Structure 1
Amino acid sequence: MKLDLIQDIEGFRSLKPEWNGLAARSFFDNPFLTFEWYEAWLEVFGDQGEVTIAAVRQEGRLIALAPLFLQRNKTLTFIGYPQNDYAGFIIDRDYPEAAALLASFVGQLKGKWKLAVFDQISEQDDSFELLSKEFQNQGLSFRVEPADKCPAMTLEDPEAARKMYYKRNITSYVNWFKKEGDFRYNIYTDRDEALSRLDDLFNQHIKRWEGTPTPSYFRNPSMTEFYRRMVEKMHPSGWIHFSSLTLDSHFLALYISLEYGNKLYFYKTCFNLDYAKKSPGQVILRYHLDYALSRGIVELDFARGDEGYKDRFANRVRQSRRLIIYPGGWRQKAAQVFYDFRYSKLVDIIYRNRYAQQLKDWVLAKRRKR
């Protein structure tokens, strides 16, 4: 096996003919591992650090990739961090031994990074165990902690799914919208139309989160540009499912999802606060279900985050993981002590205290004013 180091976007682009084929043969193929996803991200955020990709070949055949990025603060992460809902090393299932070479590569970079944070590795990615073992063999000091929970609705039983998505309250909301005017579920199958509707998504999302402790990141021009590049590059492959609910000329809800590998990944969602009492964000999920069943889609993936509404429309929850590598053992031990305290029962009680929540909101508000 031979490992090549790629340190610029042009070198990355040279891998385009082989990239997605390897992703399809990997332990957990998903849209956040595609060449198009990475290219969109690098074109917008690539100047914030250094491309650091390891490409492993066996007799000329690409069998593994470490799609890494060295941030300006010397943190080594996956390309796409933190915008990717799933991430990981890309290893051909037929060549698990390539994990040793990738782990060695990370170890050899130790002088360049102060911390390596490999975030959002899904529990569906079996290469995680291979790499953890190889990092240990390299003598690297690391720890693993839970990242985000990822609810999903598997559709092996369509009737059970319909019972969840066709509840009486949802039906009453649908009927109300139909009585009020021209009520439609729209899918923007034309790329130019999808691109033209992005501003509607951005504006609605900004309004939805205005005045909250977590304002919309679409106030940042880099984020809106990233979404434009993502739609531009992924739509031609049929991977962008951009949809909306409209009532006459009003957008009730807008969803960008990624349709990939017989799954529908919900990526960015928002709804119209003026119609919040009629739950348009939940109503659109019924239409997504109908669409999925008509297309033979086997799963609705709500991606990272365990917001309450997801529990009502999911039948399983997966746990993603975060693997953190430290330059020295003492830092790993100190981080573990802090983590154990942060997630202790005592801190949980304090965190849920009403006055503690008010203090937290006050601090966040002060930060936003800076």
Structure 2
Amino acid sequence: MALSIDRLTTLEQLAAIRTEWNALLAHNAINEVFLTWEWQDAWWRAYSHGELFVLVGRDAHGALHGIAPWFIDTRRPEERVLRPIGCVDVTDYLDIIAPQARREAFCSSLAAYLHAHSDAFTRINLCNVHGQSPSLVDLPAALERVGFQVTLRPQEVCPVIQLPDTFEGYLESLDKKQRHEARRKLRRAENAEER
């Protein structure tokens, strides 16, 4: 199913899709705080350096099927780099937003739009994409089908640790000395609040 792609270029346009954005994100394979409308809006207001280039895909009935929260980085006059909002610093995980059932159609429509509007940018740099994201497969394949040359390479490693469900569970996972030290510091902090 081909989707129509619209480009949003103003904060007012972004604000108008806030509810739809977060509802769609709830069904995304990668649902990180960095992809919420609130984070993206705050990042853009604090660090923007370029032009908003947020692409949204809708079906014939107007239902939202995908969002590519991007911008054109214009810091270097000789380059217009298409990047995700939040790229590179400050944000760990970025991605397109499209539930798995809609992702392939969105990626195909997105790639066709980018091909048709390739005069708007000199290159695409999709940084900080989560290593488990299906976008690392679907989007490059769609871009290659329309003639883009795609290179994938790791940018940085983001350390992750799985934590138990409770704080007590976490304390139990520590060795005896670390557990004793953590509890001692917690008591000290609680006593400091009382003073």
Structure 2 equivalent of residue 9 of structure 1: 11
The one of 117, 123, 126 equivalent to 2:134 is 126
Q: Distance in 1 between matches of 2:101 and 2:127?
A: 24
Listed as ranges, the gaps of 5+ residues in structure 1 are 185-246, 250-370
Instruction: Classify the secondary structure of the residue corresponding to 1:248.
Output: helix
- Listed one character per residue, the Cα deviations across residues 190-232 of structure 1 (whole Å, up to 9, x for unaligned) are xxxxxxxxxxxxxxxxxxxxxxxxxxxxxxxxxxxxxxxxxxx
Structure 1 equivalent of residue 22 of structure 2: 20
Instruction: Classify the secondary structure of the residue corresponding to 1:142.
Output: coil
Q: Distance in 1 between matches of 2:164 and 2:180?
A: 27
Listed as ranges, the gaps of 5+ residues in structure 2 are none
The one of 63, 80, 84 equivalent to 1:78 is 84
Instruction: Classify the secondary structure of the residue corresponding to 2:100.
Output: coil
**TM-score in terms of structure 1 length:** 0.45
Instruction: Classify the secondary structure of the residue corresponding to 2:110.
Output: helix
Query: 2:51·2:72 contact (CA, 8 Å) conserved in 1?
Result: yes
Q: Which amino acid aligns with 2:55?
A: A
Query: 1:54·1:105 contact (CA, 8 Å) conserved in 2?
Result: no
Over the matched positions of the two proteins, sequence identity in percent amounts to 22
Aligned-residue offset at 1:8: 1.2
**TM-score in terms of structure 2 length:** 0.82
Aligned-residue offset at 1:176: 5.1
1:95-174 residue pairs with structure 2 within 5 A? 95-96=102-103, 97-155=105-163, 162-164=171-173, 166-174=174-182
Q: Distance in 2 between matches of 1:49 and 1:56?
A: 22
- Listed one character per residue, the Cα deviations across residues 286-315 of structure 1 (whole Å, up to 9, x for unaligned) are xxxxxxxxxxxxxxxxxxxxxxxxxxxxxx
Structure 1 equivalent of residue 42 of structure 2: 40
Structure 2 equivalent of residue 49 of structure 1: 50
Instruction: Classify the secondary structure of the residue corresponding to 2:153.
Output: strand
| Off by >6 Å, runs of 4+ in structure 1 | 156-160
Structure 2 equivalent of residue 188 of structure 1: none
Q: Distance in 2 between matches of 1:43 and 1:157?
A: 35
The one of 96, 114, 126 equivalent to 1:89 is 96
How many correspondences in the alignment? 183
Query: 1:88·1:121 contact (CA, 8 Å) conserved in 2?
Result: yes
Structure 2 equivalent of residue 310 of structure 1: none
Q: In structure 2, do the counterparts of structure 1 residues 94 and 177 end up closer, same or farther at CA, with 3 Å as the change threshold? A: closer
Instruction: Classify the secondary structure of the residue corresponding to 2:160.
Output: strand
Q: Distance in 1 between matches of 2:183 and 2:65?
A: 53
Structure with the greater alpha carbon radius of gyration: 1
Q: Distance in 2 between matches of 1:89 and 1:45?
A: 20
Q: Distance in 1 between matches of 2:155 and 2:102?
A: 27
- Listed one character per residue, the Cα deviations across residues 298-344 of structure 1 (whole Å, up to 9, x for unaligned) are xxxxxxxxxxxxxxxxxxxxxxxxxxxxxxxxxxxxxxxxxxxxxxx
* RMSD (Å), alpha carbons: 2.5
